[in-house]
Amino acid sequence: MVSASAPGKIILFGEHAVVYGRPGIAVPVSQVRATARVEATPPGSGLTLLALDLERSVHLRAATMTDPLAAIAFLTLAHLEADEPDALLTVTSTIPIAGGLGSGAAVSTAVARGLAAFLGCDLAPAEVSRLVYEVEKLHHGTPSGIDNTVVAYEQPVYFVRDRRMETFTPGAPFRFLIADSGLPSATGAVVAAVRAAWQAEPARYERLFDQVGALTDAARQALEAGDVRSLGPLMDRNQALLEEMGVSAPLLDRLVAAAREAGALGAKLSGAGRGGNVIALVEEATAAAVEAGLADAGARRVISTTVG
């Protein structure tokens, strides 16, 4: 039996603008993970993929690339030039689905790594990231590639589409609360809605994306300098631009306002929006009050994560 895992993630800055070539910043959330366990089965049985949380079982022989679990298995086997093994791969995940925490990319990453480990092969983060990106493209239309990158490298990343990605190290610990709105966020649908809006009003959206890009660059400087106080207002400004793009939602606005009122240094939605998660930057002294404020405003679950 071998096992492999991959973390969740949050986008700190630049969602949507990152699809249009502006920089984005994402960090791993290591305490929520997808895990793949692989065990041998009798000769001739082929590969079965079992997703316990999704209550799905897929026999690779009977599957096609339209199935995301089968797709990552096909792509990984092709990349490793390996035959289908006789094995049962069971994937479990503690990452909320459709919440902007990267559950799809993490499940794909865990499956690719689990299969490679079972076959006795190494897969470098860049290779995993590329394979997972292929699956993201099948299911999300026009992904920027930021999700697969941060999940595969499990480090803070400064990401610009079609460029070499950069990892970086924050200069001090930054603590974020991640509040689940309980509303599903359908990444592909929200990305498509932004594309339609950009096509209808290209100049306005290009300006919004430029402003987001400038904030993301300022945020990287603040993160690297360990300047916790400067980062909060940058998050607030990014949220205002996301609202102008039309990807927030009344509940997300309420969670953001509640976090700020309870003492967060800044707050914004994270990921595609219209649902999913809100993130709030907190200090030790205010963390408990902000968590309570988020719960009162309707958050289903609050996770605390420290970056750096």
Q: Cβ closer to ligand PMV: 60 or 242? A: 242
Minimum CB separation of residue 294 from ligand PMV in Å reads: 19
3 state SS of 191: helix
Strand partners, 58: 49
> Using the rule CB under 6 A, is 103 a contact of ligand PMV?
no
> Using the rule CB under 6 A, is 208 a contact of ligand PMV?
no
Which region among 144-152, 205-213, 218-226, 232-240 touches ligand PMV (by CB under 6 A)?
Answer: 144-152
Candidates 185, 238, 239, 286: give the one binding ligand PMV (CB under 6 A): 185
Nearest to 303 by CA among 158, 139, 180, 217: 180
Could you write out the DSSP letters of every residue in 213-275? HHHHHHHHHHHHHT-HHHHHHHHHHHHHHHHHHT---HHHHHHHHHHHHTT-SEEEEESS-SS
Candidates 109, 129, 144, 181: give the one binding ligand PMV (CB under 6 A): 144
For ligand PMV (CB under 6 A), the number of binding residues is 16
Q: What's the chain's Rg over C-alpha atoms?
A: 19
Which region among 51-59, 138-146, 218-226, 287-295 touches ligand PMV (by CB under 6 A)?
Answer: 138-146
Minimum CB separation of residue 143 from ligand PMV in Å reads: 4
Nearest to 128 by CA among 142, 139, 117: 117
Beta carbons of 152 and 109 less than 8 angstroms apart: yes
Candidates 2, 4, 19, 38: give the one binding ligand PMV (CB under 6 A): 19
3 state SS of 27: strand
Candidates 70, 146, 222, 228: give the one binding ligand PMV (CB under 6 A): 146
Q: Answer yes or no: 83 catalytic.
A: no
Minimum CB separation of residue 275 from ligand PMV in Å reads: 9
Candidates 191, 242, 255, 281: give the one binding ligand PMV (CB under 6 A): 191
3 state SS of 300: coil
Candidates 7, 85, 143, 170: give the one binding ligand PMV (CB under 6 A): 143
- 270-to-12, 32, 84, 119, 238 alpha-carbon distances in Å: 7, 16, 38, 36, 10
Binding site for ligand PMV (CB under 6 A): 11, 15-16, 18-19, 100, 102, 143-144, 146-147, 185, 187, 191, 271-272
Could you list the active site residues?
A: 147
